[in-house]
Amino acid sequence: MKIQLPAGIRSLRGLTLPIAFNDIIAGVLVSSVAIPVGLAYANLMGVPVIIGLYACIIPVLIYAIFGSSPFLIVGPDTAVSNIVGVSLTAFALTTPDARIQGAAAIAIGVGIVSIIAGKLRFGFIANFLSRPILTGYLAGIGIQLVISQLSVITRIYSPPGNFFEQTLFFINHLSSIHWMTFGLSIIFFIFIRACIYYKSSISAPIITVIISILLSWGFSLNQHGIMMLGTLPSGLSSFHIPSFNFPLTDFIETIIAITLISFSSGIITARSFAAKIGQQVDGNKELISFGVANICSGLFQSFTVTGADSRTAVGINSGGKTALVGISSAITIALIITFFAHPLSFLPSAILSVILISTAINLIDVNTFRFLLKVSHREAFFVLLTVLGVLWVGILQGIILAVFITLLHGLSLSAKPRDTQLGMLPNTKELVNLHLEPTAVPVPHCIIYLFEASVIFYNEEYFSNRCASIITQYDEQKIRWFIIDASVMTQGDASTLYAFNQLYILLQSKNIQLVIAGGHYEFRNIIYKSDLIEKITGRKIYQSVEIALDEINNLYKPPVEPLTHV
């Protein structure tokens, strides 16, 4: 039996010196982006900031070697880090050590759930959050994150509450702003956003961190009331199994919710970049790869990671070709932690909030919302509903709300699918949509009805009402056959049989025969297993509408009078 090596290792085969050099440089550039955001996300979660750098080493290294997409860089993510932080607070973990233990336990739990889901081929779970709904959820997180970090850069700390309560508190206490902290934050925020706006090639966050450290050290900013990170431990994290004392049910619910969000976000990142470089992504393999990376992250005192879009973009845009990009990035950060941890103690805490606010703004995808407003008011409404829901009920409950809205959106589309009547173009046998082709005419004595979905429990009544409405339109005409074009019907259930039997009874009352044509295996199978097959024309399902028309025309062709000799 041939054992297939992981994609990361396979990408290293045939590595040449020029490619290796280029990938190492790309990895160093990736680390320049990963360091400031790693610090910021750890600060967001309420754990020591060094933990954020740990999350950029072991899991990145493990995924680079064993992951299924060598081009993808994993790491801390805005939405996931925010959810983990909220979860730690919900578990009443207040001390730094307790939050480290909790974050590590959640990472291991997410990893285990991800691997199980991948083995069971549950890669489709990413679809539980449709792209528009995920856009709304992330926008809600982004807005919530902005208001929470404003409290850090202004030193106006609001009590716990939802977005609207925190915003009202903030507005009522504007007179309490700490102007030195706020002024420094605004300057660096403008710098970061300007670099983004003008698509600068420099890494604005790392430049911001370096300059703010130099300013803090040179001008003793802490003496002016600006808070610093303080002393950080140097050296790498060690292997440690976190303690576990959470309520089991709450813990399982939390890790399932975080798995859903982290995988949905990560798989979108992976697929987006894979499409740009002409590769494909297997959702089930990604689940397993994310799972392994998260278990290792938790065992080395870090937190949940997923596909990191900004770091992946830097790696690809820098010409990275192999998993060596992720490996060199992890090694670079490990060296910085080991030998240069002390200067980070001079970093103003507000700078991390500035980086988070800038990242949060990127989560608010206004262009997608504008696009949806133009092409689909319904989806735009669901996006807006998701945003407001997250802001009102909170981030964790917002996950449940987002999944519910996704399902509601799907059901709303499936409950009233498109349908049409078919006819023929003059002097041809080509079937076309009667409403789209002005020259098309109905087939004599036939109604050909195309229902563009399977008939199941949530659209059964709509199907029946549409059929009855169409039949009524032809009351003044001599109709012999009602032909169902079932070419797009892929499945069936008891509701399918009920709807078709009711249609058969209605047609019988009008002396019209029911004909079924097309359909996939599961749909055809349930019809053949029922007594409905004995009632429909031909006692069979025709392969296509065209074949059905040919056969019923022959079946009901008037008999030819025999020739008589004189």
How confident is the model over 382-401, as pLDDT tens digits? 889 889 988 988 877 787 88
DSSP element (H, E) containing 133: helix 131-154
DSSP element (H, E) containing 402: helix 395-415
What pLDDT is attached to residue 566?
Answer: 38
Of 25-39, 126-140, 365-379, 472-486, the one with minimum mean pLDDT is: 126-140
Q: Is the pLDDT of residue 403 over 90?
A: no
What pLDDT is attached to residue 410?
Answer: 77
What pLDDT is attached to residue 2?
Answer: 57
Average model confidence (pLDDT) across the chain: 89
Q: What is the mean pLDDT of residues 280-295?
A: 91
Q: Would you list the DSSP string of 241-265?
A: PPP--S-HHHHHHHHHHHHHHHHHH
Q: Would you list the DSSP string of 42-69?
A: HHHHTS-THHHHHTTTHHHHHHHHH-S-
What confidence category does residue 340 fall into, taking pLDDT thresholds of 50, 70 and 90? confident
What pLDDT is attached to residue 565?
Answer: 39
DSSP β-bridge partners for residue 419? 451
Backbone angles phi, psi at 20, to 5 degrees: -60, -45
* Nearest-angstrom CA–CA distance, 37 and 78: 9
With pLDDT > 90 as the criterion, what percentage of the chain qualifies? 53
What pLDDT is attached to residue 509?
Answer: 94
Grouping H, G, I as helix, E, B as strand and the rest as coil, residue 436 is coil
What pLDDT is attached to residue 371?
Answer: 92
For domain 419-553, the CATH superfamily is STAS domain (3.30.750.24)
Query: Within 446-520, where are the H helices?
Result: 460-473, 494-508
Grouping H, G, I as helix, E, B as strand and the rest as coil, residue 423 is strand
Q: What is the pTM of this model?
A: 0.76
Q: What is the mean pLDDT of residues 105-118?
A: 96
Q: What is the mean pLDDT of residues 14-33?
A: 90
What pLDDT is attached to residue 244?
Answer: 74
Q: What is the mean pLDDT of residues 58-83?
A: 91
Of 94-108, 221-235, 265-279, 289-303, the one with minimum mean pLDDT is: 265-279
- Map out the domains of the chain as residue ranges: 17-411, 419-553
* Nearest-angstrom CA–CA distance, 144 and 230: 27
* Nearest-angstrom CA–CA distance, 157 and 187: 21
What confidence category does residue 555 fall into, taking pLDDT thresholds of 50, 70 and 90? low
Of 3-17, 56-70, 446-460, 499-513, the one with minimum mean pLDDT is: 3-17
On whether the CB atoms of residues 281 and 258 are closer than 8 A, the answer is no
What confidence category does residue 406 fall into, taking pLDDT thresholds of 50, 70 and 90? confident
Q: What is the mean pLDDT of residues 367-372?
A: 90
On whether the CB atoms of residues 489 and 545 are closer than 8 A, the answer is no
